[in-house]
Amino acid sequence: MIENIRKNWSNYFKIYVLALIIFGIFFLYSKHDVGNDSSLSDWLINYEGGFVRRGLIGEMIINFSNALSLKLRDSILIFQLFFFVSYYFLITLFCKNMFHNRIIILAIFSPIFLLYPVAEIEVLGRKELIIFLIFLSYLLFDVKSFKIQLIYKLILFPASILTWEPMFLFFPFIFLIDLFVFKIKKFDKKFLYLLSSYLLSIFFVIIIYLNPFQKENYDIMSNFLKNQFSETCYMSCSFVGKQSENSFSELFKVILEKFEFTYAIRYLIIILVGFLPLYLLSIYSKTKSKNQVLIISKFKNIFFPFLLAFLPSTVLYLVMYDWARIVHVSYTFSILTFLYLLKENFIELSNQKIQKSYISKLPKKFFIIVFFLFAFSWNPKVVMVDDVASKPIYATPYKFYKYFIRDKF
């Protein structure tokens, strides 16, 4: 019976992801020529005015455009499509045969995971796609391989910092995985070697925050985009020029001016509801006896280690306006880390606790209702002032119909 459930839900998941890919491709295409699209503005940042945070991918795209004589926005679309399709395709491989019980099903179908970027078109195509793809590919390879460690710790993880510097706040999830993979049992030389493998990435973080982009450098970059590609440096691109310093206090001041207590309550509820299945899985899981890892093995479940890995990302709520993206990125790292540890038998789920849970005891018809209400009846929007969106199961196909069928005929 369990095997049938796993097989059926794996097939449902493939259809679900395929639908998201199809919608995502059309949505990315439809908005890549929109002059004020916020997700595309981040990809315009480049190194023509000197070193600047998030400029790596923009510089690569500019060289790609020049080499193939393409419009800059067409080149950005090609990169976005590549990262988007690759990530969602690898997700289907990674989650294959992972649908062991109803709680895992709800965790994987959480609306703050794969559905969110497609349901909220403004978020679709953001640079965290690259971050997710790098992290997911790390999990799909042999993490223990020395060659893989060199490639990721010396090239890809530093590149991820140069792509989207808040990535370093999610390094605790990668470090947690490394602790299990390399069987770190105590604070010794082995632990220090593992810690030092992140030094290059941390070095780039320090360089970014100690070298704010000066106004004259921003003007060079902005003029280059204008003269070379007739593109205006707007939104995310212009923001790097408006910051006199990449300081925490400067960013925090902007958030504080717009903050209201109701926003914090709303997003606390979004996190509690969206993370609920994963929270249940974490308290029903524990480290296997053969995998003694530092003090992690001393906890009765893995909730607290995951909480410690999650906490650094909460800093972003003090400096970023688009809170829903933070929720999405945090959940993505959390669920992928949990599934990896489960797949590789570093942790084990208590089937007894799973079966005793209220969700497992629900009749099948009621579970289907709960599933649709949880997975498809809501999703967070984008910025902290936004209310919760409703009915993405209807709204997403309707957007597709509106942009590609109704307006064409």
Q: For tokens 């009621």, what's the residue?
A: 366
pLDDT the model gives residue 119: 94
* Residues 127, 40: Cα–Cα separation, whole Å: 9
Retrieve residue 65's tokens: 């455009």
Whole-model pTM: value is 0.96
- The DSSP code sequence of 313-350 is GGGGGGT-S-HHHHHHHHHHHHHHHHHHHHHTTSEEE-
Rounded to 10°, the helix 56-68/72-94 angle is 120
Q: Give the tens place of pLDDT for each residue, 388-402.
A: 988 887 777 777 666
Per-residue pLDDT of the chain (409 residues; tens, 9 = 90+): 556 667 889 999 999 999 999 999 999 999 988 877 888 999 999 999 999 999 999 999 999 999 999 999 999 999 999 999 999 999 999 998 899 999 999 999 999 999 999 999 999 999 999 999 999 999 999 999 999 999 999 999 999 999 999 999 999 999 999 999 999 999 999 999 999 999 999 999 999 988 888 889 999 999 999 999 999 998 888 888 776 555 677 778 888 999 999 999 999 999 999 999 999 999 999 998 777 898 888 899 999 999 999 999 999 999 999 999 999 999 999 999 999 999 999 999 999 999 999 999 999 999 999 999 999 999 999 999 999 988 887 777 777 666 666 655 4
Q: How far is CA 234 from the centre of its chain?
A: 23
d(CA 386, CA 267): 10
Which string of DSSP letters, residue by residue, matches 101-133?
Answer: SHHHHHHHT-TTTTHHHHHSTTTTT-THHHHHH
In Å, how far are 52, 306, 337 from 141, measured between CA atoms?
31, 22, 14
CA R_g for the chain: 22
Per-residue pLDDT tens over the stretch 127-168: 999 999 999 999 999 999 999 999 999 999 999 999 999 999
For residue 306, the enclosing domain spans 2-406
The pLDDT of residue 409 is: 47
Q: Looking at the 3D structure of the chain, how many domains does it have?
A: 1
